[in-house]
Chains A and B, each alone.
Chain A
Amino acid sequence: MAVEAPERPTPSPRDRSRGARGRERPGGGFELWSWLYMRISGLVLLVLAVGHVLIMHVLDDGVERVNFGFVAARWQSPFWRTWDWALLVLALIHGINGLRIIVQDYVRWPGVRFAVDMAFFVIGFALFVLGTVVVFTFDPSQWPGTV
Chain B
Amino acid sequence: MAKRKSDVGTLYKGSPGQWSWLLHRITGVAVILFLFAHVVDTAVVGWGPEAYNRVVGVYHNWVVQLLELGLVFAVLYHAINGVKIMIFDFWPSSARHMKGIALASTIIFVLCMIPITIIMGNTILESAGVF
Contacts and interface: CB of A to CB of B under 8 A. Distances in A.
A116 to B, nearest CB: 13
B102 interface: no
A42 B60 CA distance: 30
B110 to A, nearest CB: 16
Interface size class of B (residues with CB under 8 A): 35 or more
A131 B35 CA distance: 11
B25 interface: yes
A95 B32 contact: yes
A58 interface: yes
B56 A67 contact: yes
Interface in B59-105: 59-60, 65, 68, 71-72, 75-76, 79, 82-83, 85-86, 88-93, 95-96
Contacts of A68: 45, 48-49, 52-53
B116 interface: yes
A67 B99 CA distance: 44
B45 A98 contact: no
Most B C-beta atoms less than 10 A away, residue of A54, A61, A68: A68
A57 B68 contact: yes
Contact of B49 (A69, A102, A131): A69
A8 interface: no
Given A58-B72, A64-B59, 19 more contacts: A22-B91, A22-B93, A39-B86, A43-B86, A46-B79, A46-B82, A53-B75, A62-B123, A63-B65, A67-B52, A71-B42, A71-B45, A88-B39, A98-B32, A99-B29, A127-B39, A130-B40, A134-B43, A134-B45
18 contacts: A20-B92, A39-B90, A42-B79, A45-B79, A46-B79, A53-B75, A57-B71, A57-B120, A59-B119, A62-B68, A62-B120, A68-B45, A71-B42, A91-B35, A96-B32, A127-B35, A127-B40, A134-B43
